[in-house]
Amino acid sequence: MIQAKDGRTLKFHIFRYNPQLEGDEPKMVTYEVKEAPGMTVFIALNEIREQQDRSLQYDFVCRAGICGSCGMIINGKPDLACRTLTSKFKNGEITLLPLPGFDLIGDLSVNTGTFNRAMSERVGTWIHDEQAAEKSLDELEERMDPDLADEIYELDRCIECGCCIAACATKRMRDDFLGAMGFMKVARFHMDSRDKRSDAAWYEIIGNDEGVFGCMTLLGCEDNCPKDLPHQTKIAFLRRKMVGVKV
């Protein structure tokens, strides 16, 4: 292993609990790791698992901030372990906890899949167009304004990591609150010209306290989204739209 110039030793205080293990109790365990240049929290976790404790549970797939698997609470802030450099923690102490708001699998691993699936079904995260079945496959695709395509792409960058859900006080108090990830999906399909859902149809999904009217606008989502999605603007936009719907 290449040592960092100052060769400092990092201290990782990690939440450990395996709910599958009878008699196991939640606890914090400290591990020491020699810091290397460019080290991320993810790399350090790998070292701990390979060299100190093979039972440590955490998730990753891409190691590049794309799959959204490695979200965890890093020194009090939801973030991606694979995109967080250890060098940013000047005192070398790093506390890791699992993301709240999701079922715990074990240690730092949570089940975001069940939540994401339920959110997708609730929002209907696919293009809704009742005429689509009548269209011939030989027809050319509908044209889309490039600026609109760019705006949709901006929201499609959501990696479903769950950091915005973990950072949301409303979600913590109210389990049926849709949450910021859901609002980003709604905003994405609402602006898509191929999706024919009316504002009244969207109102059925988010025009209540479990939707945009329950959001307290404290913007934990905006502050903690590793992809810098425009939560504040889009939540305000959706709220304005829903206020305007005649019911």
Q: Which residues bind ligand FES (CB under 6 A)?
A: 60-63, 65-70, 80, 82
Q: Of ligand FES, ligand SF4, none, which one does residue 168 interact with (CB within 5 to 8 Å by kind)?
A: ligand SF4
Q: What residues make contact with ligand SF4 under the rule CB under 6 A?
A: 158-164, 167-168, 170-171, 179-181, 184, 215-221, 225-227, 229, 231, 235
CB 46 within 8 A of CB 56: no
Instruction: Give me the least distance between CB of 170 and ligand SF4, in Å please.
Output: 4
Instruction: Using the minimum distance from each CB to ligand FES, give the nearer residue, 39 or 205.
Output: 39
Q: How far is the CB of 150 from ligand SF4 (least distance, A)?
A: 18
Rounded Cα–Cα distance for residues 12 and 9 (Å):
10
**Is-contact 159 227, C-beta < 8 A?**
yes
Choose the one of ligand SF4, ligand FES, none that binds residue 242, judging by a C-beta under 5 to 8 angstroms depending on kind. none
| Minimum CB distance to ligand FES, residue 188 (Å) | 20
Report which secondary-structure segment, H or E, holds 32: strand 27-34
Q: Which does 69 bind (CB under 5 to 8 A by kind): ligand FES, ligand SF4, none?
A: ligand FES
**Cβ nearer to ligand FES, comparing 34 with 63:** 63
Out of ligand SF4, ligand FES, none, which partner does residue 205 contact, by CB within 5 to 8 A per kind?
Answer: none
Between CA 126 and CA 93 the distance in angstroms is: 43
Rounded to a whole number of angstroms, the minimum distance from the CB of residue 130 to ligand SF4 is 29
Of 14 and 164, the one with the shorter C-beta distance to ligand SF4 is: 164
Rank residues 26 and 38 by Cβ distance to ligand FES and give the closer one: 38
CB of 145 to ligand SF4, least distance (A): 24
**Helix, strand, coil share of the chain (percent; to 5):** 40, 15, 45
Distances (CA, A) of 218 to 166, 171, 180: 13, 12, 12
Check if the beta carbon of residue 72 is closer than 8 Å to that of residue 81: yes
Q: Is residue 14 helix, strand or coil?
A: strand
Q: Residue 10 binds which one of ligand SF4, ligand FES, none, with CB within 5 to 8 A depending on kind? A: none
Contact between 27 and 62 under an 8 Å Cβ cutoff? The reply is no
Q: Give residues with Cβ within 8 angstroms of 247, minimum separation 6.
A: 200, 203, 207
The CA distance from 170 to 174, in Å, is 6
Residue 219 interacting entry, from ligand SF4, ligand FES, none, C-beta within 5 to 8 Å by type: ligand SF4
